[in-house]
Amino acid sequence: MTGASRGIGRAIAERLAADGAQVIVHYARNDDLAKETVAAIENAGGRAYAVQAEFEQGVDALFEGLREDRLDIVVNNAAILGGVLGTVNQEQFDRVFAVNVRAPYFVIERSLPLLNDGGRIINISSAVVRIALPDLVYSMTKGALDTLGFSLAPILGPRNITVNTVSPGVTDTDMNAWLRDDPTGGAAVTDLTALGRIGRPEDIAAAVALLASEDSRWITGHVLDVTGGYFLG
């Protein structure tokens, strides 16, 4: 479970642990927050441990930190934003792709020998693939992730491994710190959302839990919009 120290990743980690999984709480820099996630899971009666790995340097450190040699569920959640056109140099462009696309690709590749047949791969994309926003680089990485899931599903079908993608809308996390200072409470977003509120990390975790469950056994190669009906027109 990548990027599980905070935000959506933490909520997914806590939910999957509550559903019975032992969770590997991956993070990049925030040791304290990763420890908090592990403690929250353990205090609720679940099992978890933290592994640090900065993805721009590759995914090896994550796999060196694993304590077991079998996996049931892989969730690629960690990601970073880019910036608007004209503010992102080539080095920054490469970094966003390294974290958001290269890392999930190699996490999956490294996971495959460990992943049990009948397992689950779930990638966290974004509604930016259908809504034009100014952060072009970030949006492009999420488009790549959608393609990865769609193209990988038939390759892993013979092993009964499903590959699905979850696309959140605007969700209250550090990635949307502006929401916390917005006196309107994000009205510009809620007004365009069918269910009339900002997403919570737990909303996304519930969708991931569904795709991780036995009930999703016949769903693969799918992109699930988890936005509360954002920007439906």
Work out which of 50, 79, 101, 148 binds ligand NDP, going by CB under 6 A: 79
Query: Is residue 98 exposed (0-12), middle (13-18) or buried (19+ Cβ within 10 Å)?
Result: middle
Number of H helices, E strands in the chain: 9, 6
Query: Which region, judged by CB under 6 A, interacts with ligand NDP, from 77-85, 106-114, 129-137, 156-164?
Result: 77-85
Angle CA(187)–CA(5)–CA(203) in degrees, nearest 5? 40
Q: Does the footprint of ligand NDP cover residue 124 (CB under 6 A)? A: yes
* Residue whose token pair is 């929250």: 40
As annotated, the active-site residues are 138
Hey, what are 94's tokens? Answer: 């490469």
> Residues 190-219: x/- map of binding to ligand NDP (CB under 6 A)?
------------------------------
> Residue 116 or 134: which CB sits closer to ligand NDP?
134
**In the complex, minimum distance from the CB of residue 99 to ligand NDP, in angstroms, rounded to a whole number:** 4
**Angle value at C-alpha 143, between 137 and 149, nearest 5 degrees:** 140
**99 is a site residue for ligand NDP (CB under 6 A):** yes
Count of residues in contact with ligand NDP, rule CB under 6 A: 29
First to last CA, the chain: 34
Binding site for ligand NDP (CB under 6 A): 3-9, 27-30, 33, 54-56, 77-80, 99, 124, 126, 168, 170-171, 173-176
